Structure 1
Amino acid sequence: MHRIDVPSATADHQFTEGSPAGGVPATTVSAAWLNDVQEELINILAAADVAPVKGEQNQVLQALQALIAAGQQSNAGQVAWFAVKTPPAGYLKCNGLTIGKPGSGATAREHNDVFALYVALWNDWSNDVLAIQTSGGAPTGRGPSAQADWDALKRLPLPEIRGEGIRAWDDGRGVDAGRQFGSWQGGQIESHGHSASSGGSGSHSHSGTAAEAGSHNHLEGHSLKADIVAQYGVGGTAASGSERTGTNQAGQAYTSTGGLHSHSLTINSAGDHSHTVGVGNTGGNETRMRNIALSAFIRYL
């Protein structure tokens, strides 16, 4: 790169429109100076892996953004909560779609400015959690490096955080042991028991009644009506001229009708006791605290 140095430039190497009245010529742009400017700009694009395209007028800006992002990878990959639905500049939705180089067919962003995020995710997320894809969208294995997969036009998914809560990675502490970084974990309720009881009824008895027996006679201790005795073909004599008691010809004692009556019934105490209690299920399809739904966006610049 050099300052304009043609004879028509000013003494301090500046451009001038000249002055016809004063006899000062306008500065002539030399091919050497234009080539220097062109190659300086091309080198910026090349450093960011941006291919120059005729007619596009923001490629230097894209390249500078990508280079800045590459130098600030601590910001690339940062997830932030927003109270808006559309991600601001430099952020993408955490929705599981893919990022990659132009030509990769990435579904979230296909651009050189996502390279820093691509590298960050490639390095820290295993292929079991974020399975890299071919340019056609088929899951595939990872190559020797993020740069190699980037150049091979492989897509890399973004984390899927929609509808999920966040838990700090255990990182060897042992509270949530065995977790892969970035892995998903289903809901769970810690094993526990519930106590339940019913009030004791105390020592008590139950009242009861027997059905009425109706009018009847007794034979040998059971009621026997006179007409039944006659039905057996045996006669009987009543003591003292009464039909209440007597003997039949077989020598069996009988009594006359006992009249309409009932018998008392006593049920013994069951003692102090309790009853089995069943506890039914309650609740919905997940365990959750009160919450508010916001957008989760990931930074790529």
Structure 2
Amino acid sequence: MQLPIGITRGTSNYGLEYLDIEHPKARARIFLQGAQVTEFQATNQPALLWLSPEEDFRPGKAIRGGIPICWPWFGAHGSDTAAPAHGFARTSVWKLDNVINNDDGVFLTLSLPMPDRPDWPYSASLTLAVSVSDYLGLALTTRNTGSDELVLTQALHTYFNIVDIEQVRITGLAGSRYDDQLLGAAGKGLACSESQLSIAGEVDRIVYPRQPLGLNAPAYQLDIATQGSASAVIWNPWLEKSSRLSNFPTDGYKSMVCVETANCGADVAVIGVGASHTLQVEYRQLNTGKN
């Protein structure tokens, strides 16, 4: 495909292909492996996404940072212990189908060629639409092309660049319930006691918001608008777990937090024969003027 002016191809040291996008409204980088946005910066705004400085971009290995796509299952496979965590979409090579560059921004469509896998005995198509403008938008659409109802879990596993975890507040939690993954069965269906969450240790929660979530970081305020989702995952590994993660610096937890748009926990996507489901999110920053 011939790319419009402002979009160029590049390759990592180990051969992963990516697209660099330069537009008056924003810049971004998207890897074809995983259809993964690893960089986004709106003009006159700080960089939105966190990417591990230890990431080496090797084929077949999940990229640590940006926006991994967890699909068609979130977390561990329901029955196959040999299946990869968070599905296979994030380590598969996607196909670039279309790119539009106009005054409003750059708009891309990618699709995932469906592999023949014993851990995924279903028929479906998967596409991702990415909008790079003064906002970042993603829309992940699954179409059921088989003859049976399709049930899946998924997430847009976004790592945010937040500079200082101690100054971060996740807003919009009033009236919500959540599952605390660190507590197991005892952590199901807990009530959010406050309207916003500060992080002072490891956190791994599936939240069921009643209103849009937001993120207040030292350098920006972020509005998160979603569709097709009734769950969100809030995650920070903190110090002890950081030391056990691959391609993750020991102190990396200080400068990142994940707020993931999802269909997981009690919120699963049920797709009828011939029907489709779109998991969608838009991120818009407001610069706070803080350093």
- TM-score computed with the length of structure 1 as normaliser: 0.18
Larger Cα-atom Rg: 1
Higher helix share: 1
Higher strand share: 2
Higher-RCO chain (CA-CA 8 Å, sequence separation at least 6): 1
